[in-house]
Amino acid sequence: MACPEIVAPNRRHGRVDLIRYSILHPEGKNLISVWFQRAWQDRECQKDEAFEPFIFMWFAFNGWAACVTDQDSDRGIIDTLAADTQINNNFERIITTNQDISQSVNNFFELLPIFDVKSLRRKGILLHAGGNRRERIDYYFANGADRFEPGCWKRHFDENERVPVDWGHFINAVYKVRCNLFHGLKGAHAEMDQEIVHSAYLALVKFLHEVGYLYV
């Protein structure tokens, strides 16, 4: 059962219909395919080269997701995807059977939570560039950070639990990486650093390639 912070029972979700993508007009499918192939071919990139592949991957993923969810807003798209049983089951199956993808996903989960850059700046919480990821996380929480994904991370941590490694938690965290990268304003920030973007990119692009949704 998904955490309520991820798939809230009182939140209205759409419905994923993968058939919608198979009947999308050829120009749209070709554009999504070109974007995704561009992202996939760069999967051997170094950490400092991951920003552009991540962007191409997200363009492709978002185009596909908007089609299959029939949602107009990004939040509606992510909520609908997170709640979908078929995608959740496919994600669980793939990270169970594919060691490479499982490792990439777990590497990304080791960096969670992903804090909202705009919120950190508004609160006057400055860039914490030194130390390891655990020290950065402690620093942000100690200084009042309260917007992050997945939204249930702090509850699990306080209860001495690990955040479930599933699709809903994963896609919400990757979406926060996307938002930080696209809307994080100018200047470097730890939540937009090379390791986070590279890790999110590898985990999602490998899953999408393996599951084949964008190749229909």
User: Residue 186 — pLDDT band, cuts 50, 70, 90?
Assistant: very low
- Compute the mean pLDDT over every residue in the chain, rounded to the nearest whole number: 90
- Are 80 and 71 in contact by the 8 Å Cβ rule? The answer is yes
pLDDT tens, residue by residue, 70-96? 998 999 999 999 999 999 999 999 999
- Residue 97 burial (CB < 10 Å; 0-12/13-18/19+)? exposed
CA atoms of 137 and 60, how far apart (whole Å): 31
Instruction: Count the neighbouring beta carbons within 10 Å of the beta carbon of residue 169.
Output: 25
Smallest CA-to-CA distance from 183 within 117, 96, 120 is with 117
* Residue percentage of the chain with pLDDT more than 90: 76
pLDDT at 196 over 70: yes
Q: Are 179 and 33 in contact (CB under 8 A)?
A: no
Q: What is the pLDDT of residues 46-73, one digit of tens each?
A: 998 999 999 999 999 999 999 999 998 9
Neighbouring C-alpha atoms within 13 Å toward the C-beta of 117: 21
Q: What share of the chain is helix, strand, coil (3-state, %, to 5)?
A: 65, 0, 35
Instruction: List, in order, residues 6 or more apart from 126 with CB less than 8 Å away.
Output: none
Instruction: Note the pLDDT of residue 184.
Output: 59
Residues 122-143 have pLDDT tens digits of: 888 877 666 788 988 999 999 9
pTM, two decimals, is 0.93
pLDDT bucket at 178, cuts 50 / 70 / 90: very high
Q: How confident is the model at residue 5 (pLDDT cuts 50, 70, 90)?
A: confident
Asked if 188 contacts 126 with a C-beta cutoff of 8 angstroms, the reply is no
